[in-house]
A and B are shown apart, each in its own frame.
Chain A
Amino acid sequence: MSETAKHATSETTVIDADVHITVEEETVAKYMDEPYRSSITESPHPIFPSSSWDQRMGGKIDDHFSTFTSAGDLLTFQKEFDIEYPIINMFEPLGKFSQPDLAVNLMQAYNNLLFDQFLDDHDFLGLASIATQKPDKAAEELDRVGDEDQIVGVYVGTSGEYPPLGDPEYDIIFQAAEDNGLPIVYHGNGDEFMFDFPIHNRGFNNYFEVQTLGHPWQQMATMSSLIGEGVPEKFPELDFVFLESGIGWVPYMMHRMNKIYHMRRSEVPLLEKSPEEYLRDSFYFGSQPLGEPNDPAHMKQIIGMIGADNLMFATDYPHWDFDHVEELDKYLRNYFTEEEREKVLYETPAEAFNLSL
């Protein structure tokens, strides 16, 4: 991490909705039970599946990822980026694991690690990981860790999870999250594109194409499933947070789902109002990676369409495509009121994650 100049947010309280802790496989294995621990440490074949895309292009993009592993690293990041409240997650999308029992044990291990290394001795805020392969186990896990004050949401990968994430199979998870007052936080992954879109993953020739589509396709599939299955109507107190797909896709989905809803209402009879109303009432969106229109006024329009009540800032640090706060703040300062700016940087995420700071 390089030294950064003092910037406009140094006088502003900032919540960062998406900060990833890098956890080595050997580290999480220490928190696992047998035989799963040995599956990680002893197997000659990699248990953590990964695609072969080179995200950092042979080192042309610096690796901040490997060294971002400890509470000390997080404290340094807070200071350098002027982030008062980083909301941390354990990153690994658990839907990609083939063995359901191993995924369940990994879920518990990541959460125990989160407490042991980050929350117990510091006042950080974190998201509880869940594996969706066994929804009843995920619900049990939320009841186990969900009433801890520092757990402020439920972290769900949107890559590899099957069936799609609004399926009634997951109602027990939504019920547990709502009972524990936790929003569900969805996070896609470019590297795991192959689990959801294997044919396209084989067909594309470079990571540019995969990264462009991976996150938004995963998040669109998740949002479409949630609305189509009536999840916000079933669990009206539950909130939903979408991270790391930027925001340009949100108005598109909002308007497209409105159109299809009016044409096919009887197919989704749980819905009592338009998809856009559900999104505005209970969905929140992390800004990163913010799109880069050639004309900045176009980003003003997109931010305006989503609005300060549903938009929140996120860095995605320490991943290679992270956003510095200035990436979003330059638009907020130039085009929006100070009230709206403070909502995006602080009040809206505080509301989404039920923070009493």
Chain B
Amino acid sequence: MEEHVVATTDELSQGERKLVEIEGREIAVFYVNGEHRAYTNWCAHQSGPVCEGKLTGTSNAEFDRDSLTVDLDWCKEGEVLNCPWHGWEYDVTDGSCLSKDKVRLPSHSVKVEGDEIIITL
């Protein structure tokens, strides 16, 4: 395991990311909701460059059986990473896929020391 300084904290504002190459691997570090998260730029679907996709919100829905109405909710604004190839959705705060259980983006340990963002790989 080796530590890699990939960015300084002032480079990443809320909702921003930096894509770097470490030992031949493309890795992105995101800054969302006060946390840094790092993932390999690889979608579980067809290996697309998921970390280059848009960060958006997404829809949630609940059905009330008595009134037969659907309550649509736009939620997780800025927390949903959409693969630019086919739109697979991932929760950027934990890497989980929103449409498939047990599928997660390959994640990496991130820490901040001083103003340096460090990924361990």
Contacts and interface: CB of A to CB of B under 8 A. Distances in A.
Q: Is this pair of chains taken from one and the same complex?
A: yes
B106 interface: no
Given A262-B45, A263-B86, A264-B87, A171 B68 contact: yes
20 contacts: A168-B70, A172-B68, A230-B70, A234-B63, A262-B86, A262-B100, A263-B86, A263-B87, A263-B88, A265-B58, A265-B98, A265-B99, A267-B59, A269-B59, A269-B60, A270-B63, A270-B70, A273-B101, A274-B99, A274-B100
A263 B50 CA distance: 13
Given A168-B68, A171-B68, A262-B88, 16 more contacts: A168-B70, A175-B65, A230-B70, A233-B63, A234-B63, A235-B65, A261-B99, A262-B100, A264-B87, A265-B89, A265-B98, A266-B58, A266-B98, A267-B59, A269-B72, A270-B61
Contacts of A273: 101
A314 to B, nearest CB: 31
Interface string A257-301: 000011111110110011000000000000000000000000000
A230 B88 CA distance: 19
A172 B86 CA distance: 35
Interface in A206-220: none
Nearest to A261: B99
A262 B70 CA distance: 21
Q: 7 tightest A-B contacts by CB?
A: A269-B61, A265-B99, A269-B59, A171-B68, A266-B59, A266-B58, A263-B86
B52 to A, nearest CB: 17
Nearest to A234: B63
Contact of A266 (B45, B70, B89): B89
Contacts of A265: 58, 89, 98-99
Interface on chain A toward B: helix, strand, loop, or mixed SS? Answer: helix
Nearest to A235: B65
A42 B80 CA distance: 64
A269 B68 CA distance: 16
A270 B89 CA distance: 15
A234 B70 CA distance: 9
A235 B99 CA distance: 20
Given A230-B63, A270-B63, A175 B68 contact: yes
A262 B60 contact: no
Interface string B93-107: 000001111000000
Contacts of A267: 59
Interface of A: 168, 171-172, 175, 230, 233-235, 261-267, 269-270, 273-274
Nearest to A169: B68
Interface in B63-97: 63, 65, 68, 70, 72, 80, 86-89
A172 B67 CA distance: 10
Contact of B99 (A171, A172, A262): A262
Contacts of B87: 263-264
A261 B98 CA distance: 11
A261 to B, nearest CB: 6
Contacts of B100: 262, 274
Nearest to A273: B101
A192 to B, nearest CB: 29
A140 B96 CA distance: 44
Contacts of B70: 168, 230, 270
Contacts of B45: 262
Contacts of A274: 99-100
Contacts of B80: 266
B60 to A, nearest CB: 5
A264 B89 CA distance: 9
B59 A234 contact: no
Contacts of B72: 269
A274 B88 CA distance: 13
Contacts of A168: 68, 70
Contacts of B99: 261-262, 265, 274
A169 to B, nearest CB: 10
B101 to A, nearest CB: 8
B43 to A, nearest CB: 10
A234 B68 CA distance: 9
Contacts of A233: 63
A31 to B, nearest CB: 31
